[in-house]
Structure 1
Amino acid sequence: MPLALDLKDRSCLVVGAGPVALRKIELLVGAGARVSVVAPTMHPDTAEFCAGRDVRVERRCVRESDCDGRLLVVAATGTPEVNDFVSHACQARNTLVNCVDSPGLSSALFPALVDRGSVTVAVSTGGASPTLARRLRERIEATLPAAVGTLADYLSAKRSRVRDALGSVAERQRLWDRVLDGPLPDLLTRGDIEGADALLDEELARTGPPVGMVSLVGAGPGDADLLTLKALQCLQRADVVLYDNLVGADVLSRCRRDARKIHVGKRRAFPGTRQQTINEMLVEEARAGQRVVRLKGGDPFIFGRGGEETEALAEAEIPFEVVPGITAALGCAAYAGIPLTHRDLAHSVRFVTGHRTGGEFNLDWPELAAPAQTLAIYMGLEALPVLCAQLIAHGARPETPAAVVARATLPEQKMHLATIGELADPTGEIPVSAPAITIVGEVVGHARSSGTQ
């Protein structure tokens, strides 16, 4: 179980004095512990570090009695027999012990640490893979603001004032969320304490019902790892998430655990939730002070009806933001190995909907049939024979390559390669099912493999 230890002025022992032991000594000294080192020989770097600090060093072999009165003992000798000896001595004394690279002998493990002053993030794999823990730490370091420790100190200093001003826990939580979502962290990063104080004063003086907000978030093409960082942040802050059919369970699992998740998807031959109803739900939830995420597959503004929703929010004077996502065609092409543009083959890309309005396609067929371009057709699997026949009728070569990619970016992704002449055959069978993207153009020749995969 992860715990944080207060080691200030507590007695700790490190057995060993090599490079690995030095890293543990540095951590313990940095935490304020009273450190003793026992080892027959000392690495020069370890000796130099200890000489300049209040570290007690004894150049000899370890004894059982060395473990007496210690809060934590670290065995970093590289010698299994010594580590085993130290482990048993500590267990007999109910003393925490860490034997480096020997989780089975340890009652305490050192996590990989991200240190930002008052904020410390620890990553542990339970000793299974220190390398993996280090890699995860690196990813966290890349996303955690350098000044987050300063922010933590500021919030700590203001807690009593906020507690006095706001009576309920819910009110205080909402205020801190507004503060953290707003410009205050950036002001502190720039050292503008006065500006941060003024902003906090403004938030404390705010009266009336809480103001909600809507984030139209692109969920990307399917693979949850393709969510943008901002999309992930929105999901983790949301009170309510309204999501479509194309949003998978893995993406939804990234939402805040207690968020309400409401399915508002539509399917062919099943109308689902009407768009007007969705618009009304967004407005209603935001007016109730909720942080709302409208989660859409791909990008909200590419065949996602995001424009209609932002119009409704603007008319209702609801604050909103749009968080772009990787649209399905981009993810599909990347995972299928198809470059949408190519210096020798395609100088432009067109995103086309295969959805008919009033039973008709409202498309510029001569433009779509022109050479040296790539077409990415959304929602067109059922109408693909008609679409391809129209392309051929308006001048496209029947031999033009095409790829139909279903469940793009997911483990079950399948790709069917053909020509538009073959796809135009209404009696032909396409061995994939919706949702699917069809890519048409000479660039399809770069697909990773042929046939269905």
Structure 2
Amino acid sequence: MSIVSLPRNDGRRPGRMDDLATLPVFFKLTGKRAVVAGGSDAAAWKAELLAAAGADVHVCKIGWTPDSLAGAAIAICDAETEEEAQAFYDAAHEAGVPVNVIDKPAWCDFQFGSIVNRSPAVIAISTDGAAPILGQAIRRRVETLIPSALADWAALARDIREAVTGRLAAGAQRRVFWERFVDRAFGPAPTETAGEEMVGAAVSIAAGLDAEKGRVTLVGAGPGDAELLTLKAVRALQAADVILFDDLVSDDVLELARREAKRMLVGKRGGRESCRQEEINDMMVSLAKAGKHVVRLKGGDPMIFGRAGEEIARLEEEGIPVAVVPGITSALAMASSLGVSLTHRDSAQSVRFVTGHSRKGELPSDVNWQAVADPKTTTIFYMGGRTAGEIAAMLIGRGLPADTPVVVAKAVSRPGQKHWRGTLADLPAAMPDIGYDEPVLIGVGQVFAVRTALSFATSREALAAAI
């Protein structure tokens, strides 16, 4: 017998795995004896966990003896003193049983992590006892990303695994099948026929009859802050093969995408060389027909001033499946950051979103300015920085008072967020100071008067501190 000793990685040599504080393992306990000593709530919770794992749990609420550990596969104790902890630890080791003394790391062979339960898919999170609260916070984040239906898909994978493995060659065929399975697993719960459908897909892949079919998902990236993404948007990013993203999509949002996904900037910005919409449409069609899952990542919500209608029409003409994941549009993010209700019942009965420029970069000629000038309506102009003077003139000319409150917001939800507050009459003169380097939102209406006593420069920080 030849024995090879592997030295600990000292950081001077490459390795597939960095150092681990502990080794994560998953311990089969079905039908095995588990001993829990102690009558506390903590001991009761550990007993409940062990029972959920199928263990035959023996609880010693008052007192225990070394004989209590005979034949056990695992032993837990909630010791009141260090002497009891040491005694239980020694007795467990004498019996050859791995032991955990609750909240006393010095007498633990293993720790319990925070658990995300989608059994048979189980995720455990450990901080090696250094920061249990951090482990719980990580668990809450993971919980939001893992749909509850994943448990049903994991069970289905277990049920069909043998049938699929028997039909597909190891390597590329099996990888293609399981990638498709995973795409479905992060969607709706499996139907009664899902198992038959997936086995049928395996048969088609094995026969070479089922070429990879591409698809496109239009995803709203929100105004910039990655924490404002929807869960569905994150899942789409993590399932993408190619991401076509706009210029205003933040790096933090892109960081959430699948590492292997190819990223392509196709942003359109006024006054800059950029991709034409027809070129973007052609790219989506070409990539999807090559079998790729394409995510078209758009700032804000894809269905608000995002040319989504043109993209959907082109994809449908080509017979390419397309789905839409909504995002938080920047007008709503602006209202949130300012603490303003856009439909405050004392000031406005409706809200309008109006584009501030046409395809030619000018003020749109087909806007019903008389309707927009309604004093009981809150109006948000998108991308209206360069036409702000004309917007003000149009509204005042249609009877909206020159002292109507106005807010201009730039870089909403981003680190460089900036707000200006004034009146409709002040708006044209204010724009050169605000700048034209980024698209701005212009909010017009009496709802913005309710924040006159609050500094807009500090409102975002105050709201963030309150959350």
TM-score per shorter chain, which class?
0.7 to 0.9
Farther-moved stretch of structure 1 (110-119 vs 438-447):
110-119
- What is aligned with 2:319? 317
Give CA-to-partner distance per residue, 1:190-209, whole Å, 9 cap, x none.
xx25x641564256336153
Displacement, 1:146?
4.9
1:252 to 2:254 alignment: yes
- What is aligned with 2:400? 396
Checking the alignment, whether the CA contact within 8 Å between 2:244 and 2:264 is kept in structure 1 is: yes
- SS, match of residue 321 in structure 1: strand
What is the rounded CA distance, in whole Å, between the counterparts of 1:236 and 1:92 in structure 2?
Answer: 48
What is the rounded CA distance, in whole Å, between the counterparts of 1:102 and 1:306 in structure 2?
Answer: 57
* Equivalent in 29, 45, 49 of residue 7 of structure 1: 29
- What is aligned with 2:17? none
What is the rounded CA distance, in whole Å, between the counterparts of 1:358 and 1:235 in structure 2?
Answer: 32
- What is aligned with 1:51? none
Question: Aligned-residue CA RMSD in angstroms?
Answer: 3.4
**Alignment coverage as a number of residue pairs:** 430
Displacement, 1:422?
1.3
- What is aligned with 2:377? 373
- SS, match of residue 350 in structure 1: strand
1:148-159, aligned counterparts within 5 Å?
148-159=150-161
Farther-moved stretch of structure 1 (12-21 vs 313-322):
12-21
Letter in 1 for 2:457: T
What is the rounded CA distance, in whole Å, between the counterparts of 1:314 and 1:115 in structure 2?
Answer: 39
Displacement, 1:107?
4.0
Letter in 1 for 2:100: N
Displacement, 1:374?
0.9
Measured at CA, do residues 114 and 431 of structure 1 come closer, stay the same or move farther in structure 2, by a change above 3 Å?
Answer: same
- What is aligned with 1:49? none
Displacement, 1:138?
5.6
What is the rounded CA distance, in whole Å, between the counterparts of 2:243 and 2:431 in structure 1?
Answer: 42
Checking the alignment, whether the CA contact within 8 Å between 2:362 and 2:387 is kept in structure 1 is: no
- What is aligned with 2:46? 24
- SS, match of residue 233 in structure 1: helix
- SS, match of residue 267 in structure 2: coil
Letter in 2 for 1:314: E
1:196-235, aligned counterparts within 5 Å?
196-198=195-197, 200-201=199-200, 204-205=203-204, 207-235=209-237
State TM-score, norm by structure 2: 0.80
Give CA-to-partner distance per residue, 1:79-101, whole Å, 9 cap, x none.
34533555577789996443323
- What is aligned with 1:450? 455
Letter in 2 for 1:201: G
Displacement, 1:381?
2.3
What is the rounded CA distance, in whole Å, between the counterparts of 1:399 and 1:171 in structure 2?
Answer: 68
- What is aligned with 2:275? 273
Displacement, 1:318?
1.5
* Equivalent in 381, 386, 390 of residue 390 of structure 2: 386
Letter in 2 for 1:398: A
Farther-moved stretch of structure 1 (395-404 vs 125-134):
125-134
- What is aligned with 1:417? 421
Letter in 1 for 2:242: V
- What is aligned with 1:119? 121
Q: Which runs of 5+ in 2 are unaligned?
A: 1-22, 459-467
Give CA-to-partner distance per residue, 1:34-89, whole Å, 9 cap, x none.
655556x2xxxxxxxxxxxxxxxxx34x66x9879865443312434533555577
Measured at CA, do residues 146 and 337 of structure 1 come closer, stay the same or move farther in structure 2, by a change above 3 Å?
Answer: closer
State TM-score, norm by structure 1: 0.82
Displacement, 1:426?
6.3
* Equivalent in 263, 266, 286 of residue 264 of structure 1: 266
Letter in 2 for 1:269: G
Checking the alignment, whether the CA contact within 8 Å between 1:237 and 1:256 is kept in structure 2 is: yes
Q: Which runs of 5+ in 1 are unaligned?
A: 42-58
- What is aligned with 1:439? 443
Measured at CA, do residues 307 and 157 of structure 1 come closer, stay the same or move farther in structure 2, by a change above 3 Å?
Answer: same
* Runs of 4+ residues deviating >6 angstroms: 65-70, 88-95
Identity %: 38
Displacement, 1:255?
1.0
Letter in 2 for 1:121: I
